[in-house]
Amino acid sequence: MKRFIFSILCSAFLFTACMHEKIKGIVLEGEIQGVETSEIIIGKAVHQAYDQVFPIDTIHVREGKFTYTVDSLPSGVYGFYVVTDTPTNNAIVYAFLQQGKTKVDISLSSHRFLTIKASGTPLANEYQAFSDELYVASERQVIDSLDNLFYQARIAQDDDAMDRIKSMSIPYYAKGDESKKSFIRDITARQLKNPLGIYFYYNEIFLKKSHTTLDDINRVKDEINSFDAEAKSTFYYTLMNDRLIEAEKSVVGAIAPEISGIDSNGHSIKLSDFRGKYVLLDFWSSGCSWCRAETPNIRKAYEDNKNKKLVVLAASLDMNEEDWIKAMKEDNLTWPSLLMPYEEIKAMNTMYNVQGIPLILLIDPNGRIIERDMRGPRIYEAVAEYVK
């Protein structure tokens, strides 16, 4: 079941991107029904799939109505975070804003999901049509109903009902996901070069690329430079360019950036401590089931090669030390795992272009990355190829 996270992202490159865009003249007139609120926080959509929004301003709501005028925001997709005590199954809704007047209507569905209808400007209309079609294509009406039942069972602490609903939901999620992918492929195939097109490219293509090599990065640079001038003035163009610059630091062939942390015994450990050995570097967290599913493959690589100058180093994204220790004990990890403060995790994610976890890399004795983004059998196969 999806969790909704309002992420306050304030890294330097995002701040810089926000400060340099100069498209002017967005005017909103809106109403909100079914929810008691006096404030809506508006922000730029950074990663819509995870409800990551960069907050910009607060819109004040009076008697269910609001207006908002700003002349310093570029065209793009914006998230509206409704501040409320009313129980809802989501917290953020999205609309495309550009210069001109946009009418925004936010309401609460029968399944207790916030919905939004935005109209007025050409791209607001086009994005709304896309969202409406996607809702149907991805079976959201059925899934929203099941999600609502699940959330109600969770509130009631009915574990049996939660398990039943999860089981019932699986085929609908699978069908909806496949339909969504097909719909998105059709949209991106149109290769729109306007601000809406660059948003689709960013959200549905760029964020799903791993940028493993310099050739990958140069190919993406060519793609994003093919958009029109208005698209290049958006937050997404600046953000992608900034991320590609960072990604160059951890492609195959680059020297692995330094990371350091504390192991479970309280000892300080750095990646460079293992210079002269091959290092299998695993980015993971205790709450990531996909990460922990790779542990047997990492263990096989380690057990087969631990006497051949191979070490495994796990870099945890955990914020809770108890969860971190519990997971290591449950998985019987016999190699060091690093815990580090949030700011250092954020810096590490940027340096290594971590788009998702698990992220597993192989580093040679000179500290150079020789393979990254490994999964499954490829983990121990790659180790066997290099470590002799």
In this predicted model, what pLDDT tens digit does every residue of 341-383 receive, in sequence order?
999 999 999 899 898 899 999 999 999 999 999 999 999 999 9
Q: Is residue 158 part of a domain?
A: yes
d(C-alpha 367, C-alpha 254), whole Å: 8
Task: State how far the Cα of 356 lies from the Cα of 372, in Å rounded to an integer.
Answer: 13
pLDDT at 312 over 90: yes
Structure tokens at 369: 């990355």
Query: How high is the pLDDT of residue 142?
Result: 80
CB 277 within 8 A of CB 365: yes
295-305 and 378-386 helices cross at what angle (nearest 10)? Answer: 20
Residue with tokens 């695993």: 282
Whether residue 356 is found in the same domain as residue 379:
yes
Task: Point out the domain boundary residue: 137, 153, 178.
Answer: 137
Task: Indicate if 163 and 273 belong to the same structural domain.
Answer: no
Tell me phi and psi for residue 220, to 5 degrees. -65, -40
Instruction: For the full predicted model, state whether its pTM sits above 0.85.
Output: no
Per the structure block, which two tokens stand in for 150? Answer: 């699940």
Q: Looking at the domain assignment, is residue 182 inside a domain?
A: yes
Kindly state whether residues 264 and 382 are assigned to the same domain: yes
For residue 19, being part of any structural domain is answered with no
Q: Are residues 129 and 160 in the same domain?
A: no
CA 328 to chain centre: 25
Residue 3 has pLDDT above 60, yes or no: no
175 burial level (CB within 10 Å; 0-12, 13-18, 19+): middle
* Residue carrying the six token digits 């210079």: 275
Q: Find, among 16, 90, 4, the residue nearest to 47 by Cα.
A: 4
pLDDT reported for residue 103: 98
pLDDT tens across 324-343, in order? 999 999 999 999 999 999 99
Q: What is the spatial distance between Cα 306 and Cα 128, in angstroms, rounded to a whole number?
A: 55
CA Rg value for the chain:
23
**Residue 19 confidence (pLDDT):** 38
Check residue 174 and give its pLDDT: 83
Do 82 and 174 fall into the same domain? no
- Is 87 a domain residue? yes
Is residue 313 predicted with pLDDT exceeding 90?
A: yes
Distance (Å, rounded) from C-alpha 263 to C-alpha 13? 30
Judged against a pLDDT cut of 90, whether residue 386 lies above it is answered with: yes
Assess if residue 18 is contained within a domain: no
Same domain, 131 and 156: no
The predicted model gives 175-204 an average pLDDT of 83
Residue 191 predicted with pLDDT over 80 = no
* pLDDT computed for residue 268 by the predictor: 96
> What was the pLDDT predicted at 15?
38
Alpha-carbon distance of 281 to 259, in angstroms, equals 11
Query: Which pLDDT score, from 0 to 100, does residue 175 have?
Result: 82
Asked if residue 41 and residue 133 are part of one domain, the reply reads: yes
If asked whether residues 265 and 382 sit together in one domain, one would say: yes
Residue 200 maps to a domain:
no
Give mean pLDDT, residues 288-303. Answer: 95
Q: How far apart are CA 360 and CA 315, in angstroms?
A: 10
Q: Is residue 7 part of a domain?
A: no
Instruction: Tell whether 132 and 224 lie within a shared domain.
Output: no
Range of the domain at 239: 207-249
Q: Is 190 helix (H, G, I), strand (E, B) or coil?
A: coil
276 shares a domain with 241: no
In terms of domains, do 149 and 228 share one? no
Question: Residue 24 — pLDDT band, cuts 50, 70, 90?
Answer: low
Strand partners for 106: 32, 116
Residue 129 shares a structural domain with residue 145: no
Q: What's the rounded mean pLDDT across residues 63-82?
A: 94
What does the mean pLDDT of the chain come to?
88
Residue 94 lies in a domain: yes
303 pLDDT more than 70 = yes
Tokens of 109: 């569905």
Non-local (6+) Cβ contacts of 289 within 8 A are none
* Rounded distance between C-alpha atoms, residue 81 and residue 234, angstroms: 21
Quick one: pLDDT band at residue 250, thresholds 50, 70, 90?
A: very high
Is the pLDDT score of 23 beyond 50?
Answer: no
The CATH number for 309's domain is 3.40.30.10
Number of domains in the chain: 4
What CATH number is associated with residue 121? 2.60.40
- pLDDT tier at 102, thresholds 50, 70, 90: very high
